[in-house]
Amino acid sequence: MLLPDKSSADDVRRLYQSLRRLRRVEEEVARVYPSDRIKSPVHLSIGQEALAVGVIDVLETADIIAGSYRSHASYLAKGGSLRGMIAEMYGKSTGCAGGKGGSMHLVGPEVNVMGSSAVVATQIPHAVGAALVQKMKGTQNVAVVFFGDGATEEGVFHESLNFAALHKLPVLFVCENNGYAIHTPLDKRWATDRLVERVVTYGMPADKVADGDIFTIRALATERIAAMRRGGGPAFLELHAYRWREHVGPNEDFEAGYRSRDEAEPWMDNDQMARLANMVDPAVRASIDAAIEAEIKDAFDFAENSPPPMPEELYNHVYAN
């Protein structure tokens, strides 16, 4: 297993850059949000970025990902266009879905982001289908699907695990367990928290990372995906994290009563972005940060200045061809 001390300085720099970029993008989204220039609900990943970054860091461009409505992090980490994402949230014609999908339906075939679904767990079998095609075509590519803890309560999750295991498909199931389905905590939804044990019975390796450590996540993903490329079949990761902001929207919601700041604080103290920031040379970090700020400004300017879709676009793409 690859341990932090075996990560190169390049690895750390790259991971920091990605974490910082996702954090700053979403902070900017949150800052702009009250202006109503963003015409889309937003489900922010602030605090959870290390999960997507740690896993996607080991993927190739040809590998495929699918995600949920909380997909800003995975979309960007996979190489999705920041301009395209912000413009999409603004409802502009230059958005990654031409203004027809919004924040919850990010798509980027050019980097093999196959899409993201707002109906919980719905995207899981799509990644399995993509993995089936990789097996049929004999590629070495893998598919990775990201979903929350609530998705594991849906039947389609279990159906997908079974089929993927049966056919030994190259798909990595990544559960981003942040402990809440909207506002309902796990203890009101699960009789036991032995999720990885449940998954193992379908016939695939399953691991839990409960401390959010990006190096552990990356090492596990590296190992599992390497096995998958050799035809080893699917694997499952349960990665714990904490959602710092409200379920949907730009704000914190510790005053709402369903959870406390005390619960969040250990996670904030364990922030992987801050951790990695301290591992990067300050001068290098400053240059990374400056480049990120410039990219974000460019993307928001691009969204602001892009034209809205023409009215006739309403009827375009109902059917293909």
Partner 1 sequence: MSMQTEPPAAPRVLRYVDALREAVEQEMDRDPDVFLFGLDVDDHRAIQGSTSGLLEKFGAARVFTTPMSEDAMTGVAIGAAMSGMRPIHVHIRNDFTMLAMNQLVNVAAKAHYMYGGKVKVPLVVRSMIGKSWGQGAQHSQALQSMFMHVPGLKVVMPSNAHDAKGCMIAAIRDDNPVIFIEHRLLYPTEAYVPEAPFTVEFGRARICTAGDAVTLVAISNMVMECLRAQELLAQAGIHCEVIDPISLAPLDIDTILASAMRTRRLLVVDNAWTNAGASAEIIARVMEAAGPHAGIAVKRMGFAPTTCPTSPWLEQHFYPNPATIAQAVHAMVNGRDTGWAPDPARARQANQTQFRGPF
Binding region for partner 1 (CB under 8 A): 64, 66, 95-101, 105, 107-109, 114-115, 117, 119, 122, 124-133, 136, 143, 155-156, 159-160, 162-163, 166, 316-321
Q: Are 17 and 53 in contact (CB under 8 A)?
A: no
The whole-angstrom distance between residue 201's C-alpha and the CA centroid of its chain comes to 26
With beta carbons less than 8 A apart as the criterion, state whether 51 and 239 touch. Answer: yes
CB of 30 or CB of 144, closer to partner 1: 144
CB of 60 vs partner 1, minimal distance in Å:
16
How many Cβ atoms are within 10 Å of 81's Cβ, its own excluded? 21
Question: Distance between CA 281 and CA 283 in Å, rounded?
Answer: 6
Taking the complex as a whole, the smallest distance from the CB of residue 122 to partner 1 amounts, in Å, to: 6
| Closer residue to partner 1 in complex, CB, 3/136 | 136
Terminal Cα distance for the chain, rounded: 49
| Tokens (6 digits) for 321 | 């061809």
With 0-12 CB in 10 A as exposed, 13-18 as middle and 19+ as buried, what is 198?
middle
Minimum CB distance to partner 1, residue 158 (Å): 8
CB of 116 to partner 1, least distance (A): 9
Q: How many CA atoms lie within 13 A of 248 on its CB side?
A: 10
- Between 95 and 250, whose beta carbon lies closer to partner 1? 95
Considering the complex, state which of residue 92 and residue 243 has its C-beta at the smaller distance from partner 1.
92
The alpha carbon of residue 285 and the mean position of all alpha carbons in its chain are separated, in whole angstroms, by 24
Closest CB to partner 1 among residues 287, 316: 316
Where do we find the tokens 């309902």?
A: 184
Identify which of residues 136 and 191 has a Cβ nearer to partner 1 in the complex: 136
Q: Which is nearer to partner 1, 110 or 265 (CB)?
A: 110
Residue type at 281 in one-letter notation: D
- Amino acid in the structure at residue 260: S
Query: In this structure, what token pair is assigned to residue 99?
Result: 């203004």
130 touches 111 (CB < 8 A): no
Minimum CB–partner distance for residue 290 and partner 1 (Å): 32
Task: Find the shortest distance in angstroms from Cβ 174 to partner 1.
Answer: 16
Query: Please, what is the minimum distance in Å from the beta carbon of residue 110 to partner 1?
Result: 9
Structure tokens at 212: 């959010």
